[in-house]
Amino acid sequence: MDNVEIEDLLSSLGPVSIRRMFSGKGIYHHGVIFALYLFDELMLKADDETAPLFQAVGSRQWVYQREGRNPVAMPYWAIPDDAYDDPDEMAKWVRLAYEAGLRAEATKSKPTRKPRASAKIR
CATH of the domain at 34: 3.30.1460.30
Beta bridge partners of 89: none
Question: pLDDT tens digit string along 19-56?
Answer: 998 789 999 999 999 999 998 999 999 999 999 999 99
Assess if residue 115 is contained within a domain.
no
Contact in structure between 24 and 3 (CB atoms under 8 Å): no
Angle made by CA atoms 93, 97, 102, in degrees to the nearest 5: 145
Question: pLDDT tens digit string along 70-88?
Answer: 999 999 999 999 999 999 9
Number of domains in the chain: 1
16 phi, psi to nearest 5 deg = -120, 155
Q: In what order do the strands lie in the sheet with 32-38?
A: 17-21, 24-29, 32-38, 41-45, 72-78, 61-64
pLDDT at 69 > cutoff 80: yes
Give the domain range for residue 58.
3-109
Assess if residue 114 is contained within a domain.
no
pTM: 0.84
Three-class SS state of 45: strand
